[in-house]
Amino acid sequence: MRLKDKVAIVTGGGSGIGAAICNCFAQQGASVVVTDINLAGAQNVVDQIIKSGGNAMAVEQDVVDEQRWSEVIAITLSEFGGLDVLVNNAGIGMRGSVESTTLAEWQRTQSINLDSVFLGTQQAVRAMKQNGGSIINISSIEGIVGEATCAAYNASKGGVRIFTKSAALHCANEGYRIRVNSIHPGFIATPLVIAAIESLPASEAEQLSAQLLAKIPFGELGNPEDIANGALFLASDESRYMTGSELVIDGGYTAQ
Ligand code: NAD
């Protein structure tokens, strides 16, 4: 059990990558607080974990709400007695170029994908600074390389990438034993990616899927579990000497 006796919060834990991380952490012995704006999705994941003999609790959370962050941390401390790991995973996709993106779309993307990571990291650092911990921020390959149709998404995920390094250095400078790292998934088969493809007319969707697969050296989408395994390593003490780093899990996409 690589996370025995650890307590973890995973945002956006009700679907896709977040759900896989919750399941993986619980299997490895962590008590998991599964938060999501979609409480039913989070509860479903918790029910599966409990059925498999794990320990978890569902909490409704909109990650852009600062007050709610304080409440989620307080619930975690009172119900599970500590906080060792935070995974800032909740996020949305947003397609649009610099010309087509509206200010409202831009601001919504920065708010849900980037402001949330700032709020969660700030509150987790305050909660973890006595005993240490691991903060894992889910960025994207889109936080490393640009894409013409991802203006707002690129900016938000690039922000997560470099903010992670700032927070990591602050914690190290202060002597807190808190590691802060980012994960950069490539294209992973989750509702977020599937919905983006299905929102297009059928012929365009087919073309986009083919173009996407042609750009991935492994020639296939990743699974949520591929990302969960990376998060497991960063959550566990095996990554004790890693902070401010970027874990890329992308089937070779950014190696080109
Ligand atoms: P998903 O849509 O399957 O899951 C996202 C979850 O976040 C959902 O349960 C949703 O309800 C929740 N959520 C959305 N807005 C929220 C809010 N304001 N407050 C709380 N919860 C909220 O998506 P996914 O593919 O599993 O993506 C998870 C993370 O991984 C995102 O940050 C995404 O940007 C990132 N990512 C995904 C891929 C991919 O290919 N799927 C690639 C790179 C990065």
Q: How many angstroms is it from 125 CA to the middle of ligand 1?
A: 22
Atom of ligand 1 nearest to the CA of 63: 19
**Residue 20 resides in a domain:** yes
Q: Which tens digits make up the pLDDT trace of 31-71?
A: 999 999 999 999 999 999 999 999 999 999 999 999 999 99
Q: What is the pLDDT of residue 192?
A: 82
176 is a catalytic site residue: no
173 burial type by CB count under 10 A (0-12 exposed, 13-18 middle, 19+ buried) = exposed
Taking 90 as the threshold, does the pLDDT of residue 199 lie above it?
no
Q: What is the pLDDT of residue 237?
A: 98
CATH number at residue 233: 3.40.50.720
**Residue 212 resides in a domain:** no
Taking 90 as the threshold, does the pLDDT of residue 200 lie above it?
no
Using a 6 Å cutoff on CB, does residue 136 contact ligand 1? Answer: no
Q: Is the distance from CB of 186 to CB of 216 less than 8 angstroms?
A: yes
**Residue 51 resides in a domain:** yes
- The alpha carbon of 121 is separated from its chain's Cα centroid by a whole number of angstroms, namely 12
Q: What is the pLDDT of residue 22?
A: 99
For residue 40, the surrounding DSSP H or E stretch is helix 39-51
149: containing domain:
7-188+223-249
End-to-end CA distance of the chain: 36
Q: What is the pLDDT of residue 196?
A: 83
Beta bridge partners of 87: 10, 136
Taking 90 as the threshold, does the pLDDT of residue 193 lie above it?
no
Distance between CA atoms of residues 181 and 241, nearest Å: 11
**Phi, psi values for residue 170, rounded to 5°:** -60, -50
Ligand 1: residue whose CA is nearest its atom 12: 12
Q: What is the pLDDT of residue 141?
A: 98
Q: How many angstroms is it from 28 CA to the middle of ligand 1?
A: 22
Taking 90 as the threshold, does the pLDDT of residue 184 lie above it?
yes
Q: What is the pLDDT of residue 226?
A: 98
Taking 90 as the threshold, does the pLDDT of residue 182 lie above it?
yes
Sheet holding 31-36, edge to edge: 55-60, 31-36, 7-11, 85-88, 133-138, 178-185, 246-249
User: What integer best gives the mean pLDDT of the chain?
Assistant: 97
Report how many domains make up the chain: 1
Using a 6 Å cutoff on CB, does residue 88 contact ligand 1? Answer: no
Counting residues of the chain whose pLDDT is more than 90, the rounded percentage is: 93
**Residue 147 resides in a domain:** yes
- Residue tagged active-site, from 153, 176, 241, 253: 153
Q: What is the pLDDT of residue 194?
A: 87
Ligand 1: residue whose CA is nearest its atom 32: 91
Q: Is 256 helix (H, G, I), strand (E, B) or coil?
A: coil
pLDDT bin (cut points 50, 70, 90) of residue 125 is very high
Atom of ligand 1 nearest to the CA of 18: 26
Q: Which tens digits make up the pLDDT trace of 210-236?
A: 999 999 999 999 999 999 999 999 999
**pTM strictly above 0.90:** yes
pLDDT bin (cut points 50, 70, 90) of residue 171 is very high
> Average of pLDDT values for 92-111?
97
Pseudo-torsion of CA 28, 34, 40, 46, nearest 10°? 30
**Residue 116 resides in a domain:** yes
**Residue 213 resides in a domain:** no
Listed in sequence order, the residues at least 6 apart from 129 whose beta carbon sits closer than 8 Å to its beta carbon are: 171, 174, 176, 178
Taking 90 as the threshold, does the pLDDT of residue 17 lie above it?
yes
**Residue 182 resides in a domain:** yes
Give the DSSP per-residue string, 116-181: HHHHHHHHHHHHHTTT-EEEEEE--GGGTS--TTBHHHHHHHHHHHHHHHHHHHHHHHHT--EEEE
**Residue 59 resides in a domain:** yes
Q: Is the distance from CB of 47 to CB of 118 less than 8 angstroms?
A: no
Using a 6 Å cutoff on CB, does residue 138 contact ligand 1? Answer: yes
Q: What is the pLDDT of residue 23?
A: 98
Report the amino acid identity of residue 29: G
Taking 90 as the threshold, does the pLDDT of residue 191 lie above it?
no
Q: What is the pLDDT of residue 232?
A: 99
